[in-house]
A and B are shown apart, each in its own frame.
Chain A
Amino acid sequence: MDRKDNAFSEKVESILDELFAEDDSQPDAVEESTSIGYYPLRFLKATVLSIDWEITDEIMSRFIDQVERLKESHKSDKTVLPLLQMLGSVGQHIRIFKENAHPNALKILKSLYISLEKVIITKEMSDNEKNRLLYREIRKFKALKGQIVSSNLAHVPHKKGRLEMPSPNIGEASGGVTPQTPPPSSFSGNPAFDRILSGIEQLKDLIRGEFEALREELKR
Protein backbone atom coordinates (compact mmCIF):
# COMPACT_ATOMS: atom_id res chain seq x y z
CA MET A 1 0.00 0.00 0.00
CA ASP A 2 2.90 2.33 0.81
CA ARG A 3 4.29 1.95 -2.66
CA LYS A 4 0.88 2.80 -4.08
CA ASP A 5 0.67 5.85 -1.82
CA ASN A 6 4.07 7.02 -2.95
CA ALA A 7 3.14 6.58 -6.57
CA PHE A 8 0.01 8.62 -6.00
CA SER A 9 1.89 11.44 -4.27
CA GLU A 10 4.67 11.47 -6.81
CA LYS A 11 2.22 11.61 -9.67
CA VAL A 12 0.30 14.53 -8.11
CA GLU A 13 3.52 16.38 -7.33
CA SER A 14 4.81 16.00 -10.84
CA ILE A 15 1.52 17.25 -12.28
CA LEU A 16 1.63 20.21 -9.91
CA ASP A 17 5.20 21.01 -10.93
CA GLU A 18 4.14 21.01 -14.54
CA LEU A 19 0.97 22.96 -13.96
CA PHE A 20 2.59 25.66 -11.87
CA ALA A 21 6.02 25.82 -13.46
CA GLU A 22 7.10 29.43 -13.51
CA ASP A 23 9.01 30.96 -16.35
CA ASP A 24 10.83 34.26 -16.08
CA SER A 25 8.06 36.35 -17.53
CA GLN A 26 6.08 38.36 -15.04
CA PRO A 27 2.33 37.91 -14.86
CA ASP A 28 -0.10 40.55 -15.94
CA ALA A 29 -1.08 41.14 -12.35
CA VAL A 30 2.26 42.68 -11.49
CA GLU A 31 1.73 46.36 -11.54
CA GLU A 32 4.90 48.18 -10.81
CA SER A 33 8.62 47.98 -10.88
CA THR A 34 10.26 48.55 -7.57
CA SER A 35 13.91 49.19 -8.23
CA ILE A 36 13.94 52.07 -5.85
CA GLY A 37 16.86 53.48 -3.97
CA TYR A 38 15.64 56.69 -2.38
CA TYR A 39 11.89 56.66 -2.32
CA PRO A 40 10.39 60.14 -2.03
CA LEU A 41 6.87 58.98 -1.15
CA ARG A 42 7.77 56.34 1.40
CA PHE A 43 5.90 57.96 4.29
CA LEU A 44 2.83 58.76 2.24
CA LYS A 45 2.80 55.25 0.78
CA ALA A 46 3.04 53.71 4.24
CA THR A 47 0.12 55.87 5.34
CA VAL A 48 -1.96 54.99 2.28
CA LEU A 49 -1.36 51.32 3.02
CA SER A 50 -2.39 51.91 6.63
CA ILE A 51 -5.62 53.59 5.48
CA ASP A 52 -6.26 50.54 3.39
CA TRP A 53 -6.07 48.57 6.57
CA GLU A 54 -7.79 50.79 9.10
CA ILE A 55 -9.21 54.29 9.15
CA THR A 56 -8.46 56.14 12.36
CA ASP A 57 -8.19 59.83 13.21
CA GLU A 58 -4.48 59.40 13.82
CA ILE A 59 -3.80 57.80 10.44
CA MET A 60 -5.97 60.30 8.59
CA SER A 61 -4.33 63.28 10.31
CA ARG A 62 -0.93 61.87 9.40
CA PHE A 63 -2.11 61.45 5.84
CA ILE A 64 -3.39 65.04 5.59
CA ASP A 65 -0.12 66.34 7.12
CA GLN A 66 1.96 64.44 4.60
CA VAL A 67 -0.16 65.64 1.71
CA GLU A 68 0.17 69.24 2.95
CA ARG A 69 3.93 68.88 3.23
CA LEU A 70 4.15 67.48 -0.29
CA LYS A 71 1.93 70.29 -1.56
CA GLU A 72 4.42 72.78 -0.20
CA SER A 73 7.37 71.09 -1.85
CA HIS A 74 5.54 70.69 -5.19
CA LYS A 75 3.64 73.96 -5.28
CA SER A 76 4.98 74.89 -8.70
CA ASP A 77 4.30 71.51 -10.30
CA LYS A 78 1.15 71.72 -12.40
CA THR A 79 0.52 67.98 -12.39
CA VAL A 80 1.59 66.97 -8.91
CA LEU A 81 -0.16 69.80 -7.10
CA PRO A 82 -3.69 69.09 -8.40
CA LEU A 83 -3.17 65.40 -7.71
CA LEU A 84 -2.19 66.26 -4.15
CA GLN A 85 -5.18 68.59 -3.82
CA MET A 86 -7.54 65.84 -4.87
CA LEU A 87 -5.78 63.36 -2.58
CA GLY A 88 -6.18 65.83 0.28
CA SER A 89 -9.86 66.32 -0.46
CA VAL A 90 -10.67 62.64 -0.66
CA GLY A 91 -8.60 62.16 2.50
CA GLN A 92 -10.66 64.83 4.27
CA HIS A 93 -13.86 63.12 3.16
CA ILE A 94 -12.65 59.78 4.55
CA ARG A 95 -11.41 61.45 7.73
CA ILE A 96 -14.81 63.03 8.34
CA PHE A 97 -17.01 60.09 7.43
CA LYS A 98 -14.67 57.17 8.18
CA GLU A 99 -16.47 53.88 7.52
CA ASN A 100 -19.45 55.85 6.19
CA ALA A 101 -17.32 57.48 3.53
CA HIS A 102 -18.49 56.87 0.00
CA PRO A 103 -17.65 53.29 -1.07
CA ASN A 104 -15.57 54.57 -3.98
CA ALA A 105 -13.60 57.08 -1.94
CA LEU A 106 -10.90 54.56 -0.95
CA LYS A 107 -10.65 53.36 -4.53
CA ILE A 108 -10.17 56.92 -5.81
CA LEU A 109 -7.67 57.66 -3.06
CA LYS A 110 -5.62 54.66 -4.10
CA SER A 111 -5.89 55.52 -7.77
CA LEU A 112 -4.78 59.10 -7.06
CA TYR A 113 -1.85 57.84 -5.06
CA ILE A 114 -0.77 55.43 -7.81
CA SER A 115 -0.91 58.25 -10.38
CA LEU A 116 1.01 60.57 -8.07
CA GLU A 117 3.65 57.92 -7.56
CA LYS A 118 3.90 57.36 -11.30
CA VAL A 119 4.32 61.06 -12.03
CA ILE A 120 6.94 61.55 -9.33
CA ILE A 121 8.91 58.36 -9.85
CA THR A 122 8.87 58.08 -13.66
CA LYS A 123 11.56 60.48 -14.78
CA GLU A 124 11.05 60.10 -18.52
CA MET A 125 7.32 60.83 -18.44
CA SER A 126 6.30 63.42 -21.05
CA ASP A 127 4.07 66.40 -20.23
CA ASN A 128 1.38 64.95 -22.47
CA GLU A 129 1.37 61.70 -20.55
CA LYS A 130 1.24 63.57 -17.26
CA ASN A 131 -1.69 65.65 -18.46
CA ARG A 132 -3.55 62.59 -19.66
CA LEU A 133 -3.06 60.96 -16.30
CA LEU A 134 -4.14 64.08 -14.49
CA TYR A 135 -7.32 64.46 -16.55
CA ARG A 136 -8.17 60.84 -16.01
CA GLU A 137 -7.92 61.35 -12.28
CA ILE A 138 -9.91 64.59 -12.47
CA ARG A 139 -12.68 62.74 -14.29
CA LYS A 140 -12.74 60.02 -11.64
CA PHE A 141 -12.69 62.59 -8.88
CA LYS A 142 -15.59 64.50 -10.40
CA ALA A 143 -17.53 61.29 -10.83
CA LEU A 144 -16.97 60.56 -7.15
CA LYS A 145 -18.21 64.01 -6.22
CA GLY A 146 -21.30 63.47 -8.34
CA GLN A 147 -21.91 60.10 -6.73
CA ILE A 148 -21.61 61.60 -3.27
CA VAL A 149 -24.04 64.36 -4.10
CA SER A 150 -26.59 61.99 -5.60
CA SER A 151 -26.29 59.44 -2.81
CA ASN A 152 -26.77 62.23 -0.26
CA LEU A 153 -29.83 63.46 -2.11
CA ALA A 154 -31.23 59.98 -2.44
CA HIS A 155 -31.02 58.37 0.93
CA VAL A 156 -28.36 59.44 3.40
CA PRO A 157 -30.03 60.28 6.67
CA HIS A 158 -29.33 63.81 7.81
CA LYS A 159 -26.86 64.41 10.59
CA LYS A 160 -25.09 67.53 11.69
CA GLY A 161 -22.13 67.94 9.35
CA ARG A 162 -23.10 64.88 7.37
CA LEU A 163 -22.81 66.63 4.04
CA GLU A 164 -19.56 68.39 4.69
CA MET A 165 -17.96 67.00 1.61
CA PRO A 166 -14.69 68.74 0.88
CA SER A 167 -14.77 70.13 -2.62
CA PRO A 168 -11.45 71.18 -4.08
CA ASN A 169 -11.16 73.41 -7.09
CA ILE A 170 -9.38 70.84 -9.14
CA GLY A 171 -7.18 71.93 -11.97
CA GLU A 172 -6.42 75.20 -10.22
CA ALA A 173 -3.04 75.86 -8.75
CA SER A 174 -4.62 77.85 -5.99
CA GLY A 175 -7.42 75.40 -5.41
CA GLY A 176 -7.70 73.42 -2.27
CA VAL A 177 -10.06 72.08 0.23
CA THR A 178 -13.06 74.25 0.84
CA PRO A 179 -15.13 72.45 3.41
CA GLN A 180 -18.75 73.24 3.14
CA THR A 181 -20.87 74.13 6.09
CA PRO A 182 -24.41 72.87 6.15
CA PRO A 183 -26.74 75.53 4.79
CA PRO A 184 -28.22 77.82 7.40
CA SER A 185 -31.83 76.98 7.58
CA SER A 186 -34.86 78.10 9.44
CA PHE A 187 -36.28 74.65 8.67
CA SER A 188 -33.63 72.87 10.68
CA GLY A 189 -36.30 70.93 12.47
CA ASN A 190 -37.35 69.37 9.19
CA PRO A 191 -34.78 66.79 8.09
CA ALA A 192 -36.26 66.34 4.61
CA PHE A 193 -36.06 70.05 3.91
CA ASP A 194 -32.54 70.25 5.30
CA ARG A 195 -31.54 67.38 3.06
CA ILE A 196 -32.89 69.13 -0.01
CA LEU A 197 -31.13 72.39 0.91
CA SER A 198 -27.86 70.59 1.54
CA GLY A 199 -28.23 68.79 -1.75
CA ILE A 200 -28.79 72.05 -3.58
CA GLU A 201 -25.66 73.48 -1.97
CA GLN A 202 -23.68 70.44 -3.08
CA LEU A 203 -25.05 70.73 -6.60
CA LYS A 204 -24.13 74.40 -6.70
CA ASP A 205 -20.65 73.51 -5.59
CA LEU A 206 -20.37 70.80 -8.21
CA ILE A 207 -21.49 73.19 -10.98
CA ARG A 208 -19.06 75.82 -9.70
CA GLY A 209 -16.26 73.28 -9.80
CA GLU A 210 -17.19 72.21 -13.33
CA PHE A 211 -17.10 75.81 -14.56
CA GLU A 212 -13.77 76.45 -12.92
CA ALA A 213 -12.25 73.35 -14.46
CA LEU A 214 -13.72 74.33 -17.84
CA ARG A 215 -12.24 77.80 -17.57
CA GLU A 216 -8.86 76.25 -16.77
CA GLU A 217 -9.06 73.98 -19.76
CA LEU A 218 -9.96 76.91 -22.04
CA LYS A 219 -6.99 78.89 -20.71
CA ARG A 220 -4.67 76.04 -21.64
Chain B
Amino acid sequence: MAFINPKTKEVQIKIVYYGPGRGGKTTNLEYIFNKFNSRIKSEMVSLKTHGDRTLFFDFLPFDIGNVLGHALKVQLYTVPGQVKYNATRRVVLRGADGIVFVADAMRVVRAKNILSLKNLYENLKDYNRSIFKVPLVFQYNKMDLAEQGIPLLSYERLEKDLNSQLKVPSFPASALRGTNVAKTLKKIITLTLPSLQRNLRKEVVN
Protein backbone atom coordinates (compact mmCIF):
# COMPACT_ATOMS: atom_id res chain seq x y z
CA MET B 1 0.00 0.00 0.00
CA ALA B 2 1.35 3.38 -0.95
CA PHE B 3 2.85 5.27 1.93
CA ILE B 4 1.00 8.53 2.41
CA ASN B 5 2.22 11.27 4.66
CA PRO B 6 -0.76 13.58 5.16
CA LYS B 7 1.31 16.23 6.89
CA THR B 8 3.83 16.69 4.12
CA LYS B 9 1.35 15.56 1.44
CA GLU B 10 3.92 13.09 0.23
CA VAL B 11 2.99 9.82 -1.45
CA GLN B 12 5.42 6.97 -2.01
CA ILE B 13 4.75 4.24 -4.55
CA LYS B 14 6.79 1.08 -4.23
CA ILE B 15 7.39 -0.96 -7.36
CA VAL B 16 9.19 -4.29 -7.10
CA TYR B 17 10.89 -6.02 -10.01
CA TYR B 18 10.51 -9.73 -9.43
CA GLY B 19 11.59 -12.77 -11.42
CA PRO B 20 14.15 -15.52 -11.82
CA GLY B 21 17.85 -14.87 -11.29
CA ARG B 22 19.75 -13.42 -14.22
CA GLY B 23 16.47 -12.46 -15.87
CA GLY B 24 17.31 -8.76 -16.22
CA LYS B 25 15.69 -7.06 -13.22
CA THR B 26 18.78 -5.08 -12.35
CA THR B 27 19.37 -4.32 -16.03
CA ASN B 28 15.91 -2.73 -16.14
CA LEU B 29 16.83 -0.38 -13.32
CA GLU B 30 20.24 0.30 -14.79
CA TYR B 31 18.67 1.21 -18.11
CA ILE B 32 16.20 3.57 -16.44
CA PHE B 33 18.99 5.10 -14.40
CA ASN B 34 21.36 5.53 -17.36
CA LYS B 35 18.79 6.68 -19.86
CA PHE B 36 16.67 9.03 -17.79
CA ASN B 37 19.00 10.17 -15.07
CA SER B 38 19.13 13.71 -16.39
CA ARG B 39 15.37 13.91 -15.84
CA ILE B 40 14.83 11.83 -12.73
CA LYS B 41 18.01 13.10 -11.02
CA SER B 42 18.47 10.17 -8.72
CA GLU B 43 21.02 7.74 -7.40
CA MET B 44 20.81 4.01 -7.79
CA VAL B 45 21.87 1.84 -4.90
CA SER B 46 22.98 -1.72 -5.57
CA LEU B 47 24.16 -4.37 -3.19
CA LYS B 48 26.02 -7.04 -5.12
CA THR B 49 27.34 -10.40 -4.15
CA HIS B 50 30.26 -12.12 -5.83
CA GLY B 51 29.83 -12.63 -9.52
CA ASP B 52 27.81 -9.42 -9.74
CA ARG B 53 24.58 -11.00 -8.52
CA THR B 54 22.10 -8.95 -6.55
CA LEU B 55 22.62 -9.79 -2.90
CA PHE B 56 19.93 -7.81 -1.19
CA PHE B 57 18.26 -5.47 -3.61
CA ASP B 58 18.73 -2.62 -6.04
CA PHE B 59 17.00 0.58 -5.21
CA LEU B 60 16.17 3.50 -7.48
CA PRO B 61 13.99 6.26 -6.03
CA PHE B 62 12.76 9.23 -8.04
CA ASP B 63 10.20 12.02 -7.87
CA ILE B 64 7.34 12.21 -10.30
CA GLY B 65 6.44 15.71 -9.20
CA ASN B 66 3.46 17.45 -7.71
CA VAL B 67 0.10 16.02 -8.67
CA LEU B 68 -3.02 17.76 -7.42
CA GLY B 69 -1.33 18.86 -4.25
CA HIS B 70 0.60 15.66 -3.57
CA ALA B 71 4.32 15.11 -4.02
CA LEU B 72 4.55 11.75 -5.74
CA LYS B 73 7.65 9.65 -5.21
CA VAL B 74 8.35 6.30 -6.82
CA GLN B 75 10.73 3.73 -5.42
CA LEU B 76 11.92 0.92 -7.66
CA TYR B 77 13.29 -2.20 -6.05
CA THR B 78 14.63 -5.45 -7.43
CA VAL B 79 14.72 -8.67 -5.50
CA PRO B 80 17.56 -11.18 -5.68
CA GLY B 81 16.40 -13.84 -8.12
CA GLN B 82 18.42 -16.74 -6.81
CA VAL B 83 16.29 -19.38 -5.12
CA LYS B 84 18.29 -19.30 -1.88
CA TYR B 85 17.45 -15.66 -1.14
CA ASN B 86 13.73 -16.10 -0.55
CA ALA B 87 13.75 -14.43 2.85
CA THR B 88 15.18 -11.28 1.26
CA ARG B 89 12.62 -11.44 -1.53
CA ARG B 90 9.82 -11.59 0.99
CA VAL B 91 11.15 -8.59 2.88
CA VAL B 92 11.52 -6.50 -0.27
CA LEU B 93 8.08 -7.54 -1.46
CA ARG B 94 6.45 -6.22 1.67
CA GLY B 95 4.26 -3.21 0.98
CA ALA B 96 4.76 -3.37 -2.79
CA ASP B 97 2.20 -1.29 -4.66
CA GLY B 98 3.00 -2.86 -7.98
CA ILE B 99 5.11 -5.71 -9.33
CA VAL B 100 6.94 -6.12 -12.60
CA PHE B 101 7.63 -9.77 -13.22
CA VAL B 102 10.72 -9.95 -15.44
CA ALA B 103 10.66 -13.33 -17.14
CA ASP B 104 13.63 -14.67 -19.06
CA ALA B 105 12.69 -15.56 -22.61
CA MET B 106 15.54 -18.07 -23.03
CA ARG B 107 14.14 -21.52 -23.58
CA VAL B 108 16.59 -23.12 -21.13
CA VAL B 109 15.11 -21.19 -18.22
CA ARG B 110 11.44 -21.82 -18.93
CA ALA B 111 10.92 -23.84 -15.76
CA LYS B 112 12.66 -21.18 -13.64
CA ASN B 113 10.17 -18.54 -14.80
CA ILE B 114 7.28 -20.70 -13.71
CA LEU B 115 8.94 -21.52 -10.37
CA SER B 116 9.65 -17.86 -9.72
CA LEU B 117 6.04 -16.89 -10.46
CA LYS B 118 4.88 -19.61 -8.09
CA ASN B 119 7.28 -18.22 -5.52
CA LEU B 120 5.78 -14.76 -5.99
CA TYR B 121 2.31 -16.18 -5.53
CA GLU B 122 3.36 -17.86 -2.27
CA ASN B 123 5.24 -14.88 -0.91
CA LEU B 124 2.27 -12.61 -1.58
CA LYS B 125 0.02 -15.14 0.11
CA ASP B 126 2.21 -14.88 3.20
CA TYR B 127 1.23 -11.21 3.32
CA ASN B 128 -2.43 -12.10 2.75
CA ARG B 129 -2.32 -10.63 -0.70
CA SER B 130 -3.59 -12.23 -3.85
CA ILE B 131 -1.53 -12.27 -6.99
CA PHE B 132 -4.80 -11.73 -8.85
CA LYS B 133 -5.37 -8.42 -7.12
CA VAL B 134 -1.89 -6.90 -6.97
CA PRO B 135 -1.06 -4.55 -9.86
CA LEU B 136 1.19 -6.71 -12.00
CA VAL B 137 2.90 -6.43 -15.36
CA PHE B 138 4.88 -9.11 -17.19
CA GLN B 139 8.02 -8.27 -19.05
CA TYR B 140 9.42 -10.99 -21.32
CA ASN B 141 13.04 -10.03 -21.42
CA LYS B 142 16.01 -10.91 -23.65
CA MET B 143 13.97 -11.04 -26.84
CA ASP B 144 16.97 -9.55 -28.65
CA LEU B 145 18.87 -12.81 -28.24
CA ALA B 146 16.81 -14.32 -31.06
CA GLU B 147 19.01 -12.42 -33.50
CA GLN B 148 21.97 -14.38 -32.25
CA GLY B 149 20.37 -17.73 -32.81
CA ILE B 150 19.74 -18.41 -29.13
CA PRO B 151 16.63 -20.52 -28.66
CA LEU B 152 13.90 -18.42 -27.09
CA LEU B 153 10.37 -19.01 -25.94
CA SER B 154 7.85 -17.31 -28.16
CA TYR B 155 5.71 -14.48 -26.82
CA GLU B 156 2.67 -16.76 -27.12
CA ARG B 157 4.41 -19.56 -25.20
CA LEU B 158 5.38 -17.15 -22.41
CA GLU B 159 1.84 -15.81 -22.27
CA LYS B 160 0.50 -19.33 -21.99
CA ASP B 161 3.06 -20.34 -19.36
CA LEU B 162 2.72 -17.30 -17.13
CA ASN B 163 -0.20 -15.10 -18.01
CA SER B 164 -3.01 -17.42 -19.09
CA GLN B 165 -4.90 -16.97 -15.81
CA LEU B 166 -3.67 -13.61 -14.61
CA LYS B 167 -4.29 -11.83 -17.91
CA VAL B 168 -2.30 -8.74 -16.97
CA PRO B 169 -0.46 -6.41 -19.37
CA SER B 170 2.72 -7.88 -20.82
CA PHE B 171 5.60 -6.65 -22.93
CA PRO B 172 8.28 -8.41 -24.94
CA ALA B 173 11.45 -6.55 -24.07
CA SER B 174 15.18 -6.20 -24.13
CA ALA B 175 16.34 -4.60 -20.92
CA LEU B 176 19.88 -4.36 -22.28
CA ARG B 177 18.78 -2.29 -25.25
CA GLY B 178 15.92 -0.62 -23.44
CA THR B 179 13.16 -1.98 -25.63
CA ASN B 180 9.89 -1.58 -23.72
CA VAL B 181 11.65 -0.88 -20.43
CA ALA B 182 10.07 2.56 -20.02
CA LYS B 183 6.72 1.28 -21.28
CA THR B 184 6.74 -1.45 -18.63
CA LEU B 185 7.52 1.06 -15.93
CA LYS B 186 4.87 3.52 -17.05
CA LYS B 187 2.31 0.75 -17.20
CA ILE B 188 2.96 -0.53 -13.70
CA ILE B 189 2.89 2.96 -12.19
CA THR B 190 -0.40 3.64 -13.98
CA LEU B 191 -1.85 0.38 -12.63
CA THR B 192 -1.09 1.42 -9.07
CA LEU B 193 -3.03 4.67 -9.40
CA PRO B 194 -6.57 3.40 -8.67
CA SER B 195 -5.57 1.91 -5.32
CA LEU B 196 -3.48 4.98 -4.58
CA GLN B 197 -6.51 7.18 -5.20
CA ARG B 198 -8.63 5.00 -2.93
CA ASN B 199 -6.04 5.40 -0.19
CA LEU B 200 -5.87 9.13 -0.73
CA ARG B 201 -9.64 9.33 -0.40
CA LYS B 202 -9.46 7.42 2.87
CA GLU B 203 -6.86 9.88 4.12
CA VAL B 204 -9.17 12.77 3.28
CA VAL B 205 -12.07 11.12 5.11
CA ASN B 206 -9.91 10.43 8.17
Report how far A103 CA is from B49 CA in the complex, Å.
9
Q: Does B190 contact A (CB under 8 A)?
A: yes
Q: Which of B114-122, B127-135, B158-166, B177-185 contacts A (4 or more CB under 8 A)?
A: B177-185
**Given A8-B68, A50-B108, A107-B52, A16:B186 Cβ within 8 A:** yes
Distance, CA A106 to CA B52, complexed state (A): 9
Q: Which of A1, A30, A31, A42 has the most CB atoms of chain B within a 10 A radius of its CB?
A: A30
Chain A residue numbers with a CB within 8 Å of B177 are 26, 30
Task: Please choose the segment from A17-25, A77-85, A134-142, A175-183 that sits at the chain B interface, where 4 or more of its residues have CB less than 8 A away.
Answer: A17-25
* B151 in complex: contacting residue of A11, A31, A46, CB < 8 Å: A46
- Asked if B36 is at the interface of the complex by the 8 Å CB criterion, the answer is yes
B35, B52, B64, B68: which contacts A16 (Cβ < 8 A)?
B64
What residues on B are CB-neighbors of A29 within 8 Å? Answer: 27, 30-31, 34-35, 176, 178
Q: Of A11, A20, A50, A107, which contacts B68 at CB under 8 A?
A: A11
- The proximity string for B residues 10-43 relative to A, scoring 1 for CB distances below 8 Å and 0 otherwise, is 0000000000011000010011101110011000
Please tell me if B92 contacts chain A, counting CB pairs below 8 Å.
no
- Residues of chain B within 8 A (CB-CB) of A9 are 190, 193-194, 197
Number of contacting residues on B, CB 8 A? 43
Whole-angstrom distance between the Cβ of B104 and the nearest chain A Cβ:
8
Binds A, one of B1-9, B94-102, B142-150: B142-150
- Shortest C-beta distance, A27 to chain B (Å), equals 4
Check B36 against A19 for contact (C-beta < 8 Å).
Answer: yes
A90 to B128, CA, bound (A): 46
Name the CB-closest residue of B to A18: B39
B137: interface (CB < 8 Å): no
Size bracket of the A interface: 35 or more
**Looking at the complex, which one of A27, A45, A106 makes contact with B148 (CB distance below 8 Å)?**
A45
The CA-CA distance from A45 to B27 in the complex, in Å, is 19
B50 touches A103 (CB 8 A): yes
Does B106 sit within 8 A of A, measured CB to CB? yes
Contacts of B27 in A (CB 8 A): 29
Bound complex: CA A187 to CA B135 (Å): 64
Cross-chain contact B51 with A53 (CB below 8 angstroms):
no
Residue from the list A27, A39, A46 in contact with B178, Cβ < 8 A = A27
Residue A34 contacts which of B31, B36, B148 (CB distance < 8 angstroms)? B148
The reply to whether the CB of A127 lies closer than 8 angstroms to some CB of chain B is no
CA distance A34 to B144 in the complex (A): 8
Contact indicator B50/A30 (Cβ below 8 Å): no
Assess whether B72 is interfacial by the CB under 8 Å rule: yes
Contact between chains at B186 and A27 (CB < 8 Å): no
Chain B interface (Cβ within 8 Å of chain A)?
A: 21-22, 27, 30-32, 34-36, 39-40, 50-52, 64-65, 67-68, 72, 104, 106, 108-109, 112, 144-145, 147-151, 176-178, 182, 185-186, 189-190, 193-194, 197, 201
- Top 4 A-B pairs, shortest CB-CB distance: A103-B50, A42-B149, A27-B35, A20-B182
